[in-house]
Structures are given as structure tokens and as C-alpha cells.
Amino acid sequence: MQLVMGQQPASDRLEWIQALRAIACLGVVFTHARYFLLDTPEWPVAEHWLTVGAAGVDLFFVISGFIMAYTTFGQGAAQVGSFLRRRLLRVWPPLAVMVLIWAYAMNGGSAALAAAARNGLLKNLLLIPVNSHVPPYFEMFLPVAWTLVFEVYFYLVFALSMLAGRWRWLLLHGLILGGMLLDPVAVQGWQWTTQHDAGLRSALLSVAANPLVLEFLYGVWAAMLLRAPWRLDSERLCWHLLLLVLALGSWLSLVRCWSFHGPLQWGLFAGVLVATLALISKTVSLRVSPLLGWLGTISYSLYLTHTCTQQLLIRYVESQGWSSHSWDFVWCSSALCVVVAYAYFELVEQRLVGLLRGLPGWWRSMRVRTGDSLI
């Protein structure tokens, strides 16, 4: 593999990141939709081909690390407050609205919110693990919110590292890797499975000790690779490298060598894929279709809403006496998830966040670019 010095010819818009967001989110939607085929003859096929879509979560984590690092190169302590405020405004309002919708839709009745509060709604709103001893999902009230627990942890660690000035990257690695050592050093030896309970009393430390946090560093390394002043000198070599990574990663996932979330399983594939795309994007033009770009833009809304959409749809279909156990229903329900997500994107991500941005005080000074965050 021959490397030459040179700058990235492509624009800074990173369209390929939006495409990865779209693919990752669609994978998550389909992996949840496969449950419509449970207890049918089609279940083994759905389980084999659609389960791997859950790897989209690992891809989201890597993308998050990549975007946070790439967009903050050259920034330091002076930008920490702005960084955290942008992340909060971008991520929390859509999450909060969805948690309340889920509470009412899944419980129903006037007592829905009170019942939901007893079942972890408040912790979900604060992005605190409901049960830190059941990683990585933490028994969150809104099921998909477990990923945002790791997201917020990374935001906090990343913000702390920005306070260190020129030592920020060293501190970031120290905080991430140091947190992961809490389990093997303080408890009971190395455990690389993300389902392992470290037994720590603090919910924050339980998140810090989970190997999933290493996937954010994969994204940081990919961003550093993109910023590096050297690139591959052959377009043909770039395409061959990408095809090799896609073929090998897909095969290892489908034959179940990699079968769950984690930095040595799906996360490793995601990290290598993002790093490969970052490297070859400096040599070749990675064109993205408008459809994938649009899906990437609404991916956060799609991620937040798809589970509720699926549950309400299946409830309605069964109330009508129709069957939901077919491939047709998998495809149609997934298409409806996209339609609902777009409406949510326009009403919540765009209008609600826009209103909050217009409030007096520190909200007004923020510039929130849609699609900045991973999910």
C-alpha cells in the first residue's frame, strides 16, 4: 500500500457520513422489524439476514467519535460550553418528546405518565441507566435510549478533554481507556463482552467501564486519519481496499464470527469501515445519492420513532384481525417508519429546536446544524 503526501480534494461536507447514518439507521429499523416474523417458518431467514442490522448502533458510535473529533480540531477550553450546549439542544429535546409520546402510547389513559415515572421515565429523560447492572441496554424505559446513555457519556468525556488544550487527545484516551480499566483492575479481570456487569455501584462508572465506549475512539482515530496529510496514490487501490473491507466484514458478521455489539465484534467492522472511507475519500470522490443523504439527515428522528411506530402499527393491524407476520408487513411497516420519522423531523427537530434556539439567553447564540450528531 503506497502512500503519498497531499490534502483531501473532497469538500468538508462529508456526504459519505450521511450515507453511513442512513444505512446504519435502516439496519436498526429492519433488525427490529424482523420480530414480525417470530414463530413463523420465515423466522430463521429473518434472524440470519436481519439481525446483523443491529450493527448500525456500533456504526453510529464510531460516526459520533469521528464527527466530534473532526469538527473540533483546533478548538479548546474556550469552546467547551458551546460544544455541550449544541449537543444538548441537538439531542435532548427530540428525545424528551419521544419519551413522553412513548409513555402515553404504550401505557394509555390519564395515569400513563405517573405509571411511566415509576418505571424509569425520569431516569430516561436524564439519560441515567434505569438498571446499570443490565448492560448494555440498562432496561431503559424508551428501549432505544440506551445508546444515548453512551452518547452523553462520550460528550462529557470529550468536553473534559477539550479543557486540556494541546494535551486534549492524550487526556481523551486516558479517560476512555482509564474508565474501561475500572472493571479489570478494581473488580475481576478483563471482560470484553458488552453484556458483562462490572458490579460497580455508580451508574456513570458502569457506563465508563463498558467496552462499548472504545468504539468512540475508533471514530476519533478515523478523524485523525482523515486530517493526516497523506493519502493513497491509486484510485484502483482505494476501491479494492473498500471492497475487501466490505466483503470481509459482511462475511464475518453473517457467519456469526461477529454477532453482537462491541469493539471486537461489530464495532471493529464499523471502525475499520469508517477509517477506510476516511482514507480513500482523500483520493476518490465518494458520491452519495440524494435519497441516502436525506435518510441520513432524518436518521436521528427515524432512530427515535421507529420502535413506537412499529408497536402502534402492529397493535392496530391486530385489532383489525389482519396478519402482521409476513415479509410484506416488514417492508411496508419500515416504509411507514420513514414517513413518520420525516414528520417528526420537521415538527420536532426543525421547528421545536428552532424555537428553543430563538429563546433569550445562551440559547440564542447557538448554531445547531441538523445532522451533526450521530443519531
Indicate whether 208 belongs to any domain.
yes
**For residue 274, pLDDT beyond 90:** yes
**For residue 301, pLDDT beyond 50:** yes
User: pLDDT tens for residues 328-342?
Assistant: 999 999 999 999 999
CB within 8 A of 177, min separation 6: which ones? Answer: 214, 217
Determine the Cα–Cα distance for residues 275 and 219; give it in Å rounded to an integer. Answer: 8
Mean pLDDT, rounded, of the chain: 87
Domain span holding position 308? 22-363
**For residue 111, pLDDT beyond 60:** no
pLDDT at residue 103 in the model: 86
Span 113-137, average pLDDT: 82
Span 325-330, average pLDDT: 93
Indicate whether 373 belongs to any domain.
no
**For residue 371, pLDDT beyond 60:** no
pLDDT at residue 42 in the model: 95
**For residue 116, pLDDT beyond 70:** no
Indicate whether 15 belongs to any domain.
no
Per the confidence metrics, is the pTM higher than 0.95? no
Span 117-122, average pLDDT: 74
Determine the Cα–Cα distance for residues 200 and 144; give it in Å rounded to an integer. Answer: 23
Indicate whether 370 belongs to any domain.
no
Indicate whether 371 belongs to any domain.
no
User: pLDDT tens for residues 231-250?
Assistant: 899 999 999 999 999 999 99
For residue 232, which amino acid is it? L
DSSP H or E segment with residue 4 = strand 3-5
pLDDT cut 70: percent of the chain above it:
86
Indicate whether 4 belongs to any domain.
no
Quick check: 2 and 232 in contact, CB under 8 A? yes
230: which strand partners? 5
pLDDT at residue 188 in the model: 54
For the record, the C-alpha cell of 212 comes out as 462499548
pLDDT at residue 311 in the model: 93
Residue entry with cell 481507556:
177
pLDDT at residue 8 in the model: 47
Question: 121: pLDDT confidence band, cut at 50, 70 and 90?
Answer: confident
Quick check: 141 and 124 in contact, CB under 8 A? yes
Residue 375, Cβ neighbours under 10 Å: how many?
26
Quick check: 211 and 180 in contact, CB under 8 A? yes
User: pLDDT tens for residues 204-223?
Assistant: 888 998 999 999 999 999 99
Give the chain's domain count. 1
Phi, psi of 313 (to 5 degrees): -65, -45
pLDDT at residue 10 in the model: 43
pLDDT at residue 254 in the model: 87
Indicate whether 108 belongs to any domain.
yes
User: pLDDT tens for residues 303-320?
Assistant: 999 999 999 999 999 889
DSSP 289-322: -HHHHHHHHTHHHHHHHHHHHHHHHHHHHHHTT-
Question: 200: pLDDT confidence band, cut at 50, 70 and 90?
Answer: confident
CB within 8 A of 116, min separation 6: which ones? Answer: 102, 103, 107, 141
Indicate whether 327 belongs to any domain.
yes
Residue entry with cell 453510529:
60
